[in-house]
Amino acid sequence: MHRRPYILPFVFGMLALIGLAIAPYLVFVYAGIEKEMGLAQKIFYYHVSSAFAMYIGFSLCFVFSIRYLWKRDKRCDLWAACSAEVGLLFCSLVLLTGPIWAKPVWGAWWVWDAQLTLTLVLWLIFVAYFMLRTHIEDPVQNARFRAVLGIVGFLNVPFIHYATKLWRTHHPEVVRGEEIGLPPDMKTAFFFCVLTFFMLFFALLFKRVSVEKARDELESLKAEMRA
Amino acid sequence: MPLFFIQSLAILQKDLKIEWRTRERLGAMAFFAFLVVLIFNFAFEPASPIVKTAAPGIFWIATVFAGLLGLSRSFAIEKQNDCLMGLRLTPADPGAIFLGKMLGNAIAMLILAALILPVLVVFLNVEIAPALPRLILPILFGTLGFAAVGTLFSAMSLNTRLREALLPMLTLPMLVPALLAAIESFRAVLAGHPLSKIADWLVLGGAFVALFVAACLLLFECVLED
């Protein structure tokens, strides 16, 4: 067996590290303080960036799941599971940073806002994805069932989005912050954060994949030894 | 009639016959749904207006929970005597097997819904009779959406270590849009609104059914194979 290249996680990890070191400066010093929301708005840079990273994770899971069912290539399943895992991590970050922002701005930790509800439901669907992973013994069946869940779960996103949007309009007391038209300083900080989170996402994803590949290799080596 | 539908009707006929001869599934479902409605009564003060606003939610929660109970049996009966292997060996398309199973579950759910409605009238004191014709469409979409998602996952959860315990955890999050549509349109109809007022919810419910039935028909092959 040849050595796996570990260059990708290293490069992206370094970029993410540099980005994460600069981001606080841009967020807290460079970008101005928002007039209405004050300091609480600062979490927006990390919150929304996490949400973007979450969507990349779940969409990658969707794409790799379809590819797995089509080609039955074990590597596709590995990529799908790892993207779902890193996506779930960022999804949890969105759900954790959301209430911190919501409490000072909306006066409540949780409001049944359309986007928040969508994120929560997505979180539940992908937690179920990992439950499926832990509770099926046969590895091939495990991969197949997870692929089905990954596809169906992602197809459900527009429905959940539309449903929560319709539902929310029945509850007009919920007011959502409008984010259109950021001033240039905030825009710079925001795009920088999004880019940094993308780097972080891919660094984690590549690392996860290389760990899983190493584990597979170890298993096959062990099997060889026994034989 | 195309072969596909003949095959799924055969599966449906088989399931209905089993249910008719044993009568175990629907009985358990109906009793459980009845219990859920009763227990919900204790959660609210009797005869308070809250009960009436909560009635659509109580109806759907009772239907869905009892439905989950029935769904878990839907493939468990195929596990006995390796019936699932027999089904797999038939020349029937996996999609046809799914459709037959799903229709069987949907019929059970519709019967269940018809049984819960009078319970709602008696115990929660809700006026349902004038709204009854307009309730058909929301209930139909809700149960079909539930049956599609639930049938797919009940076939899956059968092969897990947790068995039936995993079914609600897979089904309920997936069902959120259909459930929201079903509850909100039920509520609007009870409040006396015409169907045109809830067109958005009905479109959502119908689209959910259409997409999930299509997706399950395509994906069921991957669930059945060994």
Q: What is the pLDDT of residues A114-146, one digit of tens each?
A: 888 889 999 999 999 999 988 888 888 899 999
Q: Is B212's Cβ below 8 Å from some Cβ in A?
A: yes
Residues of B in contact with A133 (CB under 8 A): none
Q: Is A25's Cβ below 8 Å from some Cβ in B?
A: no
Helices (H), A107-183: 114-135, 139-155, 157-169
Q: Is B75's Cβ below 8 Å from some Cβ in A?
A: no
pLDDT band for position A169 (50/70/90)?
A: low
Q: What residues of chain A, 65 to 84, have a C-beta less than 8 Å from chain B?
A: 69
Q: Quick one: pLDDT at residue B43?
A: 83
What's the rounded Cα separation, in Å, for the pair A126 and A151? 11
Residues of chain A with pLDDT > 90: what percent? Answer: 52
Q: Is A141's Cβ below 8 Å from some Cβ in B?
A: yes
What's the rounded Cα separation, in Å, for the pair B189 and B195? 7
Q: Give yes or no for a contact between A101 and A44, defined as CB atoms under 8 angstroms apart.
A: yes
Looking at every residue in chain A, the average pLDDT score rounds to 87
Q: Give yes or no for a contact between A84 and A128, defined as CB atoms under 8 angstroms apart.
A: no
Residues of chain B with pLDDT under 50: none
Record the pTM. 0.89
Q: Is B57's Cβ below 8 Å from some Cβ in A?
A: no
Q: Give yes or no for a contact between B69 and B32, defined as CB atoms under 8 angstroms apart.
A: yes
Q: Is the pLDDT of residue A1 over 50?
A: no
**Residue range of the domain that includes B137:** 3-224
Among the listed residues B119, B100, B111, B143, the one whose alpha carbon sits nearest the alpha carbon of residue B20: B111
Among the listed residues B135, B212, B140, the one whose alpha carbon sits nearest the alpha carbon of residue B171: B212
DSSP state of A5: P
Are A148 and B152 a contacting pair at CB < 8 A?
Answer: yes
Are B177 and A162 a contacting pair at CB < 8 A?
Answer: yes
Q: What is the pLDDT of residues B14-23, one digit of tens each?
A: 999 988 998 8
pLDDT band for position A4 (50/70/90)?
A: low
Q: Specify the number of domains making up chain B.
A: 1
Are A151 and B177 a contacting pair at CB < 8 A?
Answer: no
What's the rounded Cα separation, in Å, for the pair A222 and A211? 16
Q: Is B82's Cβ below 8 Å from some Cβ in A?
A: no
Q: Is the pLDDT of residue A3 over 80?
A: no
Q: Is the pLDDT of residue A170 over 60?
A: no
Q: Is the ipTM of this complex over 0.85?
A: yes
Q: Quick one: pLDDT at residue A172?
A: 41
What's the rounded Cα separation, in Å, for the pair A197 and A22? 12
What's the rounded Cα separation, in Å, for the pair A136 and B223? 13
At a CB cut-off of 8 Å and minimum separation 6, what does A102 contact?
A108, A109, A110, A111, A116
3-state secondary structure labels for all residues of A186-223: HHHHHHHHHHHHHHHHHHHHHHHHHHHHHHHHHHHHHH
Instruction: Indicate the SS3 state at residue A34.
Output: strand
Using only C-alpha atoms, chain A has a radius of gyration, in whole angstroms, of: 20
Q: What is the pLDDT of residues A17-60, one digit of tens each?
A: 999 999 988 888 888 787 777 777 888 889 989 999 999 999 99
